[in-house]
Chain A
Amino acid sequence: MFDTYLPQTILLLITVLLAAVLAIYTWKHRTVPGALACTLLMAALAEWQFAYLMQYLSLNLQGMMFWYRMQYIGMSVLPVAILTFALQYSGREKWVTERILMILFSVPLVTILLTFTSEYHDLMFRFDVTTWSTTYGVWFWISTVYSTILMLLAGLMFILNMVQSTGLYRWQAGLMFLTALLPLAANMLQLFSETIIILGMDISTLAFTLTGIIYAVSMFRFRILDILPVAREAVIASMSDGMMVLDNQERVVTVNPALQSMFNLTPQDAIGRRITEVMRPWPELMRRCRTITRTMYRDEISCCRANREIWYDVRVTPLKDPSGQVSGRLIVLRDISEIKETEAELRRAKEDAEAANQAKSTFLANMSHELRTPLNAIIGYSEMLIEEAQDSGQEDLLPDLNKIRSAGKHLLTLINDILDLSKIEAGKMQLHLEAFNVEDLVNDAISTARPLVEKNENNLILNLPDHIGVMFADMTKVRQILFNLLSNASKFTQNGDITVTITSQLKDGIDGVRFIVQDSGIGMDPAQVSKLFQPFIQADASTTRKFGGTGLGLTITRYFCRMMGGSIDVSSVPGQGSTFSVWLPRTVIDEKVEILSNQDTHPQPRGNRRLAANTILVVDDDPAARELLERFLSREGFTVVSAGSGEDALRMAREVHPVVITLDVMMPGLDGWAVLTTLKADPQLADIPVIMLTMIDNKQLGYALGASEYLVKPVDRSRLIALLNKYRQEEPPYYVLILEDDEATREMMVRTLEKENWIVDQAENGLVGLEHLAAHPPQVVLLDLMMPEMDGFEFLAEMRNEKKYDDIPVIVVTAKDLTDEDRKRLNGHVEKILQKGAYTREALLEQVRELVSACISRHTHAAE
C-alpha cells in the first residue's frame, strides 16, 4: 500500500498546486472573456483533487467520508465550468447568459445538497461500512449523465473549432478538446473500474494531473487567455493578403496561410529561416523589402508564374521597438492581378471606343461628302431654274423653286454642322489665323443672318462702337460663331428684339473682343441651360419638332470659342429671353504653329527712323498696280515709296528702311525671289518683313525664302491692310494747325483729329495763325478762307513768302463757292481744296490724313 502511497500523493499535490496557481492566474486576468470560466474550472479541479488527496490521506472513516463528499463540489461544478469556457472560447458568448448559467448550475447545486444529506435519503449513495462498499442512488446517475453530456458538448465545440481553425489556433483547440475529455474519462474510469494502478499511480489521478499540465501549457504556450491576440491572429490567418514578419536578422518570424499558398511555402520551410533562402525566386521583392527601414514603403511589382503575369501590391512596414530601433519588418502582399487585368481591359475598352468614335467621325465626314454631291445638283439646278423662270417671265414657278432651293440650303447647313462636329471629334479641326476688321465681319454675319431675323418679325439692334479695330483669329470660325448665335436668337424669338453688342474687353489682362447676342425670346430654365452645349440635345425634345435644327450649333460654337482661347457664357430667364456672350482674344495664338512663328524674323522696332514712321516700300514692275497700291495704302495712313524693279527695290530698301516691303515676283531683271533672297541675306535688311503680292502661288518657296506673308493677286485689300496693320508702328502724332473762325466747326475738327491722337493747334483768324505758325511750325495747315481780321488768301500769301514754310502743305477747307479767280490765287500754293458739307466727317478726316501722308512722302522723295 505504501508503494503507491507516495507517488500518488505527490501527483495529487502537483495537480492541486497547478490548478490553484492557474485559478489565481486566470483570476488576475478575469477581464479577458473566458478567463472567469477558466478560473472556476481550475478552482473546481483544485478543490476536487484537494478533497481527493485529503480523502486519500484520511486516517478514519469519518474524515474519509467528509472529504469524499467534498469531492462532489468540484466534481459537479467542473463540467459546467468546462462547458461555459468552451462556449466562450468557440465564440458562442451569447449563450452564456445569467439564465442559462442558473439552469446549468442548478443540477450541481442539487447534487451538492443531496451529497451532504445522503444518509437521510440515499438518493446519491449509501456507504456500507460493513462491506466497505458504496451503493449509488438515483440522483448520482442523473448527475453523472448530466456531467457527461456537458463535457461531451464542450468537447464537441472544441472539436468544431479545431476543424475550422488553422495553425496555432488549431493546436490550441485540440488541447482544449483533450481537457474536456480527460476529466470525463477519468471520472468514468473511477466509477466503473475500481482503482486502476499504472506505474504505482491511480489512473484518474494521472488524468487530472495531465489536465492540469495541459491547461498550464495552453495558458503559457498557446495563450488561451489572450483571446484578443488570438482573434487578431485569426484575422491574419483568414485574410487573403499574404503576410510575413521578419526579425532584424531577416529571419522569417511568421507567415500567414495566404502567403504560404502564394509562394507554395509551408511554415516549416519558412519560419526561422532567412528570407533570402525562403524567397529565393523573388529577388526583386527581396531587394525592396530589405532596404526599407524608415517609413512605410509601398509598391507594385509583377512576376510571371505559370505563364501568367501576377501583380502584387507590396507594403513593407518597419517594426520598431520602444527605443525606436528597427526590430523587424512586416511585409504585406496583395494580389492585384485582377485589378490590373481590369485596368488593362478598361484601357483597351477605352481605346476601342475611341477607335470606334474615330471611325464614326471618318464615316460621317465621308458620308457628308457623299451627301453634298447630290445636294450640289439640287441647289444648283434649282438656282438655275429660278434664273430661267425669272428671265422667261414664269414668275408663278418662283415660290416653289425657292422652296426647293431653301430646303436644299437648309439641308446643307445641317450636313455642315455634322461635318464640323465630326471634324472636332476626329481632332482634325484647325485654325486658319488671319487679321480682319471686326466691323466688316460683324456686318457680314448680320447681313447673312438678316433673313432669319426678319422671318420671325424680329428687330435687330446693333451696338458697334467706332474703331473696334482688327482681330487676328480664324475669321470663318468667328463669323460662324456670330452667325450661329444670331440664328439661334432668331429661331427662338418672335416679334422681339435681337440686340448685338460688340465691345473691346480686357480679360485676365488679355485684350479681347466681346460679342453679345441678346434676344427677347422664349428663354430657358436652368435645367435647359445646363444641357445646352451637349451635342444632339436641344433645350427639350419638342424643340426639334417646333424649331428644327440639329442641336449641334452651340456645341460647335463653344468648341470654336475654346479653340481660339475664348469662352462662351449664357444667361437666360424663361419667357424673357437669353443672352449669349462670347469673348475671344484679339490676337489668337494657334498652339500648333506657335513654334514656327517664333522662328520667323518678326519686325523689330528700329532706332534709325530715316523717314516718317510706317513707310511701305511697294515693289512691282507694273506702274498701274504700283499706283493703285500707293493710293490705297496712303489713304490707310501709310507713307508709300515704290520701286519698279528688283535693283531699285534693294537700293530703296537700304535708303528708306521701310517697315514693310510688298514684293511682286515676276519682274524683268532681278525677280522677286532674288530680291527676297538678297534682302534676307543682308543683316541690315533681314529684319524688314516682306509681304509677297503675286500671281504666282508658291507659298512654300516664299515662306522658305523668308517671306512673312504671302498674298495671291488679285489682292484682297482688307486682308492686306489687316496684315500691314500688324507691322504698323506707333506713329509720332501729327501736328496740325487749324485756321477757322466758326467756333463750332473748329471744335468739331479739333475733336475729330484729336481722336486720332493728332496734336491740334487752332487759330480763329490769319493773324493769330501766323503767330502760331512761327511759334510751332506744324506738319500741315487746315485753312478756312473766310475769316475776319486776316482771311485765308492773305494768310496764304504771307506764309508762302517765307521760304521755311515751303514744306508745310496747306489744305483749304471752305464753304465758299470759289470763283475762277479764287482758284487762280490758290493754285500752286495749296495741296487740296475741300468743300465743307460735301464730305462726311470721316471722309474729311481720311482726306486730310491721306494728304498729309502723301505730302510727307513726297517731301522725302524731294529730299533724296
Chain B
Amino acid sequence: MTKILLVEDNEMNLDMLSRRLQRKGFEIVTATDGETGVRLAISATPDLILMDMSLPVMDGWEATRRIKDNQGTCAIPVIALTAHAMEGDREKALAAGANDYDTKPIEMPRLLEKIEALLQGKSRS
C-alpha cells in the first residue's frame, strides 16, 4: 500500500485530509510539526510527503530542505501545501526542494493527480 506522510499542524485539516486520503486507499502517517516530519520521513519511509508550510517548531520550508538534503530521504517526492496564495510562495516552496506545490483549500482531484504523477515518475526512474 502506498504510504503518505502528512505533515500538518491544523487539527481539522489533518483529520480531514488523512481520512480522505485513507478513503482513496493510501496509508497515512501524520506529523504535526516540521521536526517530527523530518524524523518520520526517515523512520517511516513514506512513498510521498505532503508538507504544510506554516508549521510549529520547524517550518515546512526548513523541513523540506532537510529531507532533500538527506541522502536517505531525498528521493521521496514532497508536495508543499500552503494556505498562502501570495506570489512567491510557490517559488519558495520549489526552492526549498519540493517537487510540487498545491494551495489550500485542497481540491481533492487536483491533489490526487499530483500525487499520482509524482508516484508514477518515481517508479519510472
Q: Which of B17-25, B27-35, B36-44 contacts A (4 or more CB under 8 A)?
A: B17-25
Q: Does A863 contact B (CB under 8 A)?
A: no
Contact, CB under 8 Å: B104 / A376: yes
With A416-B85, A699-B94, A712-B100: A624-B124 Cβ-Cβ less than 8 Å: yes
Interface 9-mer from A258-266, A340-348, A423-431, A651-659: A423-431
Q: Which residues of A contact B1 (CB under 8 A)?
A: none
B16–A695 CB distance below 8 A: no
B118 pairs with A714, CB closer than 8 A: yes
Q: Flag whether A387 is at the interface (Cβ < 8 A).
A: yes
B71 within 8 A of A: no
Instruction: List the A residue with the shortest CB-CB distance to B84.
Output: A369
A372 x B85 contact (CB < 8 A): yes
The answer to whether B87 touches A697 (Cβ under 8 A) is no
- Given known contacts A372-B105, A373-B104, A622-B125, is B86 in contact with A380 (CB within 8 Å)? no
Q: How far is the CA of A622 from the CA of B95 in the complex (A)?
A: 26
Chain A nearest CB from B104 CB (Å) reads 5
A387 and B99 CA atoms in complex are apart in Å by 29
Query: What is the chain B residue whose CB lies nearest that of A384?
Result: B20
Is the beta-carbon distance between A376 and B83 smaller than 8 angstroms? yes
Closest residue on chain A to residue B104 by CB atoms = A376
Distance (Å) between the CB of A141 and the closest chain B CB?
103
Question: Binary interface profile of B, 67-96, with partner A (CB < 8 Å = 1, else 0)?
Answer: 000000001010000011111100000110
Contact A695 to B87, CB < 8 A, known contacts A376-B13, A712-B100: no
Do A369 and B83 touch (CB < 8 A)? yes
Chain B residues with Cβ below 8 Å from A373 are 10, 13, 83, 104
Cβ of B106 < 8 Å from any Cβ of A?
Answer: yes
Chain A interface residue count, Cβ-Cβ cutoff 8 angstroms:
36
CB neighbours of B124 from chain A (8 A):
622, 624-625, 713-714
Which B residues are CB-close (under 8 A) to A419? 85
Q: How far is the CB of A163 from chain B (nearest CB, A)?
A: 73
- A713 and B118 alpha carbons, distance in the complex (Å): 7
Contacts of A713 in B (CB 8 A): 121, 124-125
Task: Give the CA-CA distance A625 to B125 in the complex, in Å.
Answer: 8
Cβ contact within 8 Å between A695 and B13: no
Distance in angstroms from B90 CB to nearest chain A CB is 8
Asked if B120 is at the interface (CB within 8 A of a chain A CB), the reply is yes
Q: Nearest CB to that of B119 among chain A residues?
A: A714
Nearest B residue to A715 by beta-carbon distance? B121
B98 located at the interface, meaning its Cβ lies under 8 Å from any Cβ of chain A in the complex: yes
B84: chain A residues within 8 A (beta carbon): 369
Least distance between A63 CB and chain B CB atoms (Å): 116
- C-alpha spacing A429/B121, complex, angstroms: 32
- Which one of B19, B99, B105, B108 has the highest number of Cβ atoms from chain A below 10 Å of its Cβ? B105
Cβ of A666 < 8 Å from any Cβ of B? yes
Q: How far is the CA of A369 from the CA of B104 in the complex (A)?
A: 10
Chain B residues in 8 Å Cβ range of A416 = 85
Contact with A along B100-116 (1 / 0, CB 8 A): 10001110100000000
Docked CA distance A98–B95 (Å): 99
Would you call A380 and B17 a contact (CB within 8 A)? yes
Task: Provide the residues of chain A in CB contact with B99, threshold 8 Å.
Answer: 695, 697, 712
CB neighbours of A369 from chain B (8 A): 83-85
CA A429 – CA B88 in complex, angstroms?
Answer: 10
Q: Mark A428-462, 1 if CB is under 8 A from B, else 0.
A: 11100000000000000000000000000000000
- Given contacts A387-B23, A625-B125, A695-B99, whether A377 and B12 have CB atoms under 8 Å apart is yes
Contact between chains at B121 and A380 (CB < 8 Å): no
Quote the shortest CB–CB distance from B100 to chain A (angstroms).
Answer: 7
Which residues in A have their C-beta under 8 angstroms from that of B83? 369, 372-373, 376
Does A377 contact B94, Cβ atoms closer than 8 Å? Answer: no
Least Cβ–Cβ distance between A723 and chain B, in angstroms: 17
Alpha-carbon gap, A666 to B104, bound state (A)? 32
Q: Does A381 contact B (CB under 8 A)?
A: yes
Residues of B within 8 A of A622 (CB): 124-125
Give the distance in Å from the alpha carbon of A847 to the alpha carbon of B63 in the complex.
Answer: 48
Residues of B within 8 A of A423 (CB): 86-87
Measured between C-beta atoms, what is the minimum distance from B108 to chain A in Å? 6
Which residue on A lies nearest to B116, using beta carbons?
A: A714
Q: Are A380 and B87 in contact (CB under 8 A)?
A: no
B94 adjacent to A697 (CB under 8 Å):
yes
Q: Give A785-818 as 1s and 0s: 1 = Cβ < 8 Å from B's Cβ atoms.
A: 0000000000000000000000000000000000
Residues in A346-387 with C-beta less than 8 Å from chain B: 365, 368-369, 372-377, 379-381, 383-384, 387
Q: Contact partner of A430 among B87, B97, B120, CB < 8 A?
A: B87
With A369-B84, A380-B106 already in contact, the answer to whether A699 and B122 are too (CB < 8 A) is no
Interface positions, chain A 255-279, Cβ under 8 Å from B, are none
- Judged by a CB distance under 8 angstroms, whether A700 is at the interface is yes
Q: Are A695 and B125 in contact (CB under 8 A)?
A: yes
Whether A412 is near chain B, meaning CB under 8 Å from some CB there, is yes
Within the complex, the shortest CB–CB distance from B83 to chain A, in Å, comes to 5
Taken residue by residue from 623 to 651, chain A's Cβ proximity to chain B (1 for < 8 Å, 0 otherwise) reads as 01100000000000000000000000000
Q: Which of B10, B17, B104, B121 contacts A695 (CB 8 A)?
A: B121
Asked if A697 and B105 sit within 8 Å, CB to CB, the answer is: no
B95 touching A377 by the CB < 8 A rule?
Answer: no
Q: Given A695-B99, A712-B99, check contact A377 B16 (CB 8 Å).
A: yes
**Across the interface, which residues of B come within 8 angstroms of A700, CB to CB?**
95
Interface string of A697-727 (1 = CB under 8 A from B): 1111000000000001110000000000000
Q: What CA separation (Å) do A374 and B124 show in the bound complex?
A: 38
By CB atoms of chain B within 10 A, which of A373, A416, A419, A624 has the most? Answer: A373
Answer whether A383 and B120 are a contact pair too, CB < 8 Å, given A372-B85, A428-B87, A699-B94: no
Residue of A nearest to B10 (CB): A373
> B13 contacts which chain A residues (CB < 8 A)?
373, 376-377, 380
Task: Pick the residue among B88, B95, B106 that contacts A699 (CB under 8 A).
Answer: B95
Q: In the complex the two chains form, is B105's CB within 8 Å of A714's CB?
A: no
Residues of chain A contacted by B12 (CB below 8 angstroms)? 374, 377, 381
**Which partner residue on chain A sits nearest B121 by CB separation?**
A714
Question: Within the complex, what minimum Cβ distance (angstroms) separates A720 from chain B?
Answer: 14
Find chain B residues with CB under 8 A from A387 CB.
20, 23
| Cβ–Cβ < 8 Å partners of B122 in chain A | 695
Instruction: Tell me the bound Cα distance from A695 to B125 in angstroms.
Output: 8
Closest to A370 in B: B83
Residues of A within 8 A of B117 (CB): 714
Pick the contact of B105 from A376, A384, A388, A712 — CB < 8 Å? A376
Whole-angstrom distance from the CB of B7 to the nearest CB of chain A? 15
Minimum Cβ distance to chain A for residue B11 (Å):
9
Task: State A375–B103 Cα separation when bound (angstroms).
Answer: 12
Beyond A697-B98, A699-B95, 11 additional pairs, beta carbon < 8 A: A372-B105, A373-B104, A375-B105, A376-B83, A376-B104, A381-B12, A423-B87, A430-B87, A430-B88, A695-B99, A713-B125
The 5 A-B pairs with the shortest beta carbon distances in the complex, nearest first, are: A714-B121, A376-B105, A377-B12, A380-B16, A713-B121
Residue positions of B touching A, CB distance < 8 A: 10, 12-13, 16-17, 19-20, 23, 75, 77, 83-88, 94-95, 97-100, 104-106, 108, 117-118, 120-122, 124-125
CB<8 Å pairs between A and B, sample of 5: A377-B10, A377-B13, A625-B124, A713-B125, A714-B120
